[in-house]
Chain A
Amino acid sequence: MATSILDLSTQKALEGADSDDLRLIEGLRSGAAQAYEELLARFQQPVYALALRLLDDPSESADVVQEVFLKVFRSIGAFRGQSSLKTWIYRITVNEAHNSRRWFFRHRRKEVELDSEPQEARNWKELIPDGRLSPFDAAFEREQHVMIETALAKLSPIFREAVVLRDITDMSYEEIAEVLGVSLGTVKSRILRGREALRAELAGTLQDRPAPRLVPKTAE
């Protein structure tokens, strides 16, 4: 009888998590190597992408990702399953990014980066261009991403979080509300205002750019 009561309470506690999440959580709690691998395989890329879009700094994002997974591993025993595992991890990511941003503005604001070309520090695998895209398409896509990243960086963190969670990580409004800890109406409002601000920022960027001028030259 006692066992059934315990089972019911456990089931009730983890009702927000689906069966895959439950299996993963149990594996993590029991120290199964496969569960740790699966967690990283499922979440390291989206968490990194989210942190990168929230912070716009690869090195800071890497630190944040590490902090996020450290907290996940250490707090998985206390995870009560009131939300899905994904929502829980994303909430930790948003909070860690928020902390990192605050710390950055307090401490590192006045630092000058010596390495102005962080791309050079990447390894050769990351420098190999994508063979599926033509050079024009690759350049165009990169240009688009740079423009979007620049515009995102200029948004208020509150709106940026909402836009990134909705448009980049493709979370539902309800999940975003859980992650940010706000109401559904606030989520809609933030997404709307964030998108408008982003669109305005992009429009301003495009208008400020000088039109390309083609200068005819004779072949030598």
Chain B
Amino acid sequence: MSCENEQERISLLVDGKLPDDERENVLAHTGMCRECGTQLASLQMQRAILRKMAQTAVPDVVAARLIVLASHERERQLARASVRERMRRLVAKVELSFQNMMRPVALPVTGGVFSTLLLFGMMMPSLNFAHQTGGYDFSTAPQGSIVVSPWNLGADDDTADVPVFASRIDTKSDYVNIVNLTIDESGRVADWSVVRGQLTDEMKDIIMFSRFEPATTFGLPTSGIIQVRQGLPPCKYTSCSATVRG
């Protein structure tokens, strides 16, 4: 029996893969042949040492990574199971993302809303809105009536000559003299401009001595423009129109 041929059989003997009769032959040979006996012993010891190396512990980091991987893959597997499950998980994912996104801003937003409501509530009593407009317009033009005028200061019989003011400005009408008067909040003439014709003495009297009901907006007096038109004699003042500005 050649030792060259015995090597394979010794290897099979170590693995327990030899039939009984061959096993006996190989054992007999290794008992007589020192070299093959040494080889058998060394292979057995080598295998025993290698078997011990199978007990290598998995590092904790690797084990943790595998658990995370398994969890993700399981979720993926479940999501693929049905459309309903996929939709449910999608909704849950969106909901979670939204909650995660809102969590950092939830407290500031809530605090901001509550503080705004608190401050606004504290300011409410001090606010004074001119809302009482029941039956009234939000804005009015300077009324076409002269409160104080040269005509009604001393001579009551001249009231027939007091001009009547219209409610709109009209530059196309056939009047000789047209003057725009700017009436301030107190009803006095603050400015004037000649639109047509010339500034007559009567117009000057109106500018100097007249007082008007001021225009209003939201119930508060404001400035406005009133137009005074002077027609041909004997009709001194025929009409007037006004507009609110401001």
> How many whole Å from A23's CB to the nearest CB in chain B?
16
- Tally the A-B contacts, defined by beta carbons under 8 Å: 110
Of the residues A125, A149, A196, contact of B7 by C-beta under 8 Å: A196
Q: Across the two chains, which residue of chain B brings its CB closest to A196?
A: B7
* CB closest chain-B residue, reference A52: B56
Select the residue from A39, A40, A173 with max chain B CB neighbours within 10 A: A40
User: Is A170 in contact with chain B by the CB < 8 A criterion?
Assistant: yes
B236 at the interface (CB under 8 A from A): no
Say whether, besides A70-B73, A74-B73, A188 and B58 are in contact (CB < 8 Å). no
Residues of B near A91 (CB, < 8 A) are none
Q: Tell me the chain A residues, 121-172 only, with Cβ under 8 Å from chain B.
A: 122-123, 125-126, 141, 144-145, 148-149, 163-164, 166-170
Interface residues on B, range: 35 or more
Shortest distance from the beta carbon of B23 to any chain A beta carbon, whole Å: 16
Known contacts A44-B63, A188-B12, A195-B43; A170 and B51 CB within 8 A of each other: yes
Indicate which residue in B43, B46, B53, B66 contacts A65 across the interface (CB closer than 8 Å).
Answer: B66
Q: How far does the alpha carbon of A35 sit from the alpha carbon of B30 in the complex, in Å? A: 48
B50 interfacial contact with A, CB 8 Å: yes
Most buried by B among A46, A48, A196: A48
Q: How far is the CA of A48 from the CA of B62 in the complex (A)?
A: 9
- By the criterion CB–CB under 8 Å, are A73 and B59 in contact? no
A202 to B66, CA, bound (A): 35
B57–A199 touching, CB < 8 Å = no
Inter-chain contacts of A73 with B (CB < 8 A): 69-70, 73-74, 77
Per-residue contact bits, chain B 4-38, to A (CB 8 Å; 1 contact, 0 not): 00011001100101000000000000000000000
Structural contact, A188 and B57, CB atoms closer than 8 A: no
Q: Indicate if the CB atoms of B11 and A145 lie closer than 8 Å.
A: no
Minimum C-beta distance from B198 to chain A (A): 100
B interface residue numbers (CB < 8 A to A): 7-8, 11-12, 15, 17, 39, 42-43, 46-47, 49-63, 65-67, 69-71, 73-74, 77-78, 81
